[in-house]
Amino acid sequence: MAHGEEKTETRRRIKKLLMTLIEGHAFVVLKTSPGGTVEDVLYEGVDTRMFETMWLGMSVDELPRVTPMICGVCSATHHVASVKAADQARGAEAPPEAWRIRRMINMGIHLNNQVLHPLVFGLPDFLPPSVEKRSMFALAQREPELVKAGVALMELGHRVVEVYGGRDIHPINGIPGGVARKPPREEVEKLRERFEKHRGDMELFAKKALDIMFSGKEKIDSYPPGYTYMMSLVGDDGGYDIVNGRVRIMDGRTAAVEAEFSDRGRDYLNYLHEYTVPYSYIRMVTTKWRAKNPREGTIHVSALARANAVKTYHVEWADELRDRAAEEFGRPFRHPLLSTVFRVVESAALYELIARELERPIGDPIYSPPSRDTGEGAAVIEAPRGTLIHHYVAEEGKATFINIITPTAINAAAIEADLRAYFMGLNVAEMSDDEVYAHAAAVVRSYDPCMACATHAATRDRVALRIVVADENWKPLRVLKPPRPRGW
């Protein structure tokens, strides 16, 4: 119908892009004027699994068994956060030796994830666009050694979680008050030997991965940062610590500390504000003092924020790699795509930290019994993707309130802000769909968004690109059939 088509030309359009090569499923929604100029960019998570209500009325002790299932990629981090919160709710003080085991669980999954992201999601992005179906398997054909080393490191990370946490995915060892069992000595010894053996792999991986990314400097520079704040957990000595410490909110431009709060208890509620948006199942997060105007308080959490916040990684080599990145890109580190660089740097640091920790045998005690069954606890720890918060209230041993803020929920607003910084004012009607998709995906992937975490769920859609014609108030009028571009 000619008349109808004519009419749609004057209407606004919404473009939806399904993101691939991320954990879980998300859409980037581009809202354009009739001419095709981008007026707004939204980031949509498409589902919920209701983790915050499903365990109400059940035993709070069992939460560390249940919450890891929020996310299969960083389940160990959820486990440790959950145990840390349940500790407080049950009035138990875990002994330092138990904390060492818990820290190892978290470090193992960090090592795995910080290698997994560059390998599976990050580096394929740096492959030339001419390569069809960019993926880890495509990367393996060009850089077989890199992928082989990376796969070995990923397995090592999983092994650490398995030995210390009981299972590689969804670990179980932590219980309120400590841990259930010490890792058997012979397993630790085996692991130590493997860490000795794969040291060469780590060096090769870090070197090759950083080389690829440094050679793509223009690509990194071309995506401007749009977020306002950065947030990270910093150890008590100001160094790298992913389990205990203080939480810092820093200015996104200068990395100056804006606020600092405790990693335990209700304190986080005084600084962070959650809000619901009508287009996404992610509860967005902003700073409390920008609650009136949430888009001005977007927070970036990731390896990038940690690299800015911590004084040292406690590992010389990792500090040197960070200095090398500082020479290339200048401090503070701000470009969102730089996160992938610091994931590699962190993996180097973690490798060394884990190897050191494996040398020291674990002593006693590993458990102190809980003292109460009515209480409250909140825990802030670092997940591979950023800061993770679990908050429980228990009455007579039963959970009565559960709140979980995941790193990707915090990052969602920052992703939007970065996408806006890139796309606002651009005319997407003049760009090819492939191009639009590639730019959006590059920004989104750099955050390593874990959609299973963010919405406590994940889903998919058959339609990769959905164009909706909308009226002045963005009310959808009609869905246009997408063109069938090759290689999508």
Partner 1 sequence: MPRLEPKDRYTLALVPLSGCGGCEVQALRALALAPDLQKRYEVVYWPLVVEETRLPDEVDVALVEGLVRTRENLEALREIRRRARVLIALGSCAAWGGIGGNADSFNHRLSMRAIYGVERIEESAEILPRTFAVTDLVPVDYVISRCPPPVEHIMLTLRAIAEGKPVKTADSTVCSQCPRKMKPIEKLEFKPGLPGPDADPETCFLSQGYLCLGSVTTMGCGAPCTRHGIPCFGCGGPHHEIAERRDMDIITALARKIATLAGLDPVKDLDRVVKKLLEVYNPRRFYVFTFASQVLRGKPHGFAVKALVESRRDPVLRKRLEERARFARGEAPPPSPGGGEA
- Interactions with partner 1, residue window 207-226 (CB under 8 A): none
Contact pattern from residue 267 through residue 306 relative to partner 1, giving x for each residue in contact according to CB under 8 A and a dash for the rest? --x---xxxx-xxxx-x-----------------------
Give the list of residues 6+ apart from residue 388 with CB closer than 8 angstroms, or none: 77, 78, 81, 380, 381, 382, 405, 406, 407
Which residues inside 99-118 make contact with partner 1, applying CB under 8 A? none
- Residue 242 to residue 233: CA distance in whole angstroms: 7
| Burial grade of 133 (CB within 10 A; 0-12, 13-18, 19 or more) | exposed
Judged by CB under 8 A, how many residues of this single chain contact partner 1?
A: 96
Which residues inside 175-194 make contact with partner 1, applying CB under 8 A? 175, 177-181
Residue number with CB closer to partner 1 (285 or 318): 285
Residue number with CB closer to partner 1 (360 or 475): 475
- What's the min distance (Å) between Cβ of 478 and partner 1? 15
Contact pattern from residue 58 through residue 97 relative to partner 1, giving x for each residue in contact according to CB under 8 A and a dash for the rest? xx-xx--xx--xxxxx-x-------------x--------
Stretch that binds partner 1, among 32-40, 335-343, 351-359, 390-398 (CB under 8 A): 390-398
Among 128, 462, 472, 473, binds partner 1 (CB under 8 A): 462
Stretch that binds partner 1, among 100-108, 174-182, 307-315, 422-430 (CB under 8 A): 174-182
Residue number with CB closer to partner 1 (30 or 120): 120
Give the number of other Cβ atoms within 10 Å of residue 292's Cβ: 9
Q: Which residues sit opposite 23 in a β-bridge?
A: 450
Stretch that binds partner 1, among 171-179, 187-195, 224-232, 327-335 (CB under 8 A): 171-179
Residue number with CB closer to partner 1 (89 or 299): 89
- What's the min distance (Å) between Cβ of 341 and partner 1? 21
Among 367, 422, 423, 447, binds partner 1 (CB under 8 A): 367
- Quick check: helix, strand or coil at residue 179? strand
Question: 149 with 143: CB under 8 angstroms?
Answer: no
Among 108, 122, 124, 245, binds partner 1 (CB under 8 A): 124
- Residue 210 to residue 221: CA distance in whole angstroms: 15
Which residues inside 145-164 make contact with partner 1, applying CB under 8 A? 151, 154-155, 158
Angle at 290 between CA 287 and CA 292, to 5 degrees: 130
- Residue 144 to residue 338: CA distance in whole angstroms: 24
Is 460 a binding residue for partner 1 by CB under 8 A? The answer is yes
Among 11, 95, 100, 136, binds partner 1 (CB under 8 A): 136
Interstrand relation of 26-32 and 38-45 (parallel, antiparallel or unpaired): antiparallel
Among 12, 170, 198, 248, binds partner 1 (CB under 8 A): 170
Query: What is the CB-side half-sphere exposure of residue 138 using CA atoms within 13 A?
Result: 17
Is 391 a binding residue for partner 1 by CB under 8 A? The answer is yes
Nearest to 67 by CA among 75, 347, 59: 75
Residues 352-380, buried b or exposed e (16+ Cβ, 10 A)?
Answer: bbbbebbeeebeeebbeebeebebbbbbb
Nearest to 206 by CA among 302, 317, 287: 317
Q: What is the DSSP letter of 367?
A: B
CA distances from 313 to 261, 316, 351 (A): 21, 8, 11
H-run or E-run covering 370:
none
Which residues inside 393-422 make contact with partner 1, applying CB under 8 A? 393-395, 397, 400-401, 403
Give the number of other Cβ atoms within 10 Å of residue 127's Cβ: 16
Residue number with CB closer to partner 1 (5 or 132): 132
- Quick check: helix, strand or coil at residue 378? strand
Side chain identity at 133, as an amino acid letter?
K
- What's the min distance (Å) between Cβ of 78 and partner 1? 10
Query: What is the CB-side half-sphere exposure of residue 215 using CA atoms within 13 A?
Result: 10
Residue number with CB closer to partner 1 (79 or 300): 79
- Residue 34 to residue 349: CA distance in whole angstroms: 50
- What's the min distance (Å) between Cβ of 330 and partner 1? 31
Residue number with CB closer to partner 1 (195 or 281): 281
- What's the min distance (Å) between Cβ of 98 and partner 1? 10
- What's the min distance (Å) between Cβ of 177 and partner 1? 7
Stretch that binds partner 1, among 192-200, 353-361, 406-414, 457-465 (CB under 8 A): 457-465
Which tokens sit at 416?
A: 């939007």
Which residues inside 8-27 make contact with partner 1, applying CB under 8 A? 18-25
- Residue 317 to residue 61: CA distance in whole angstroms: 40
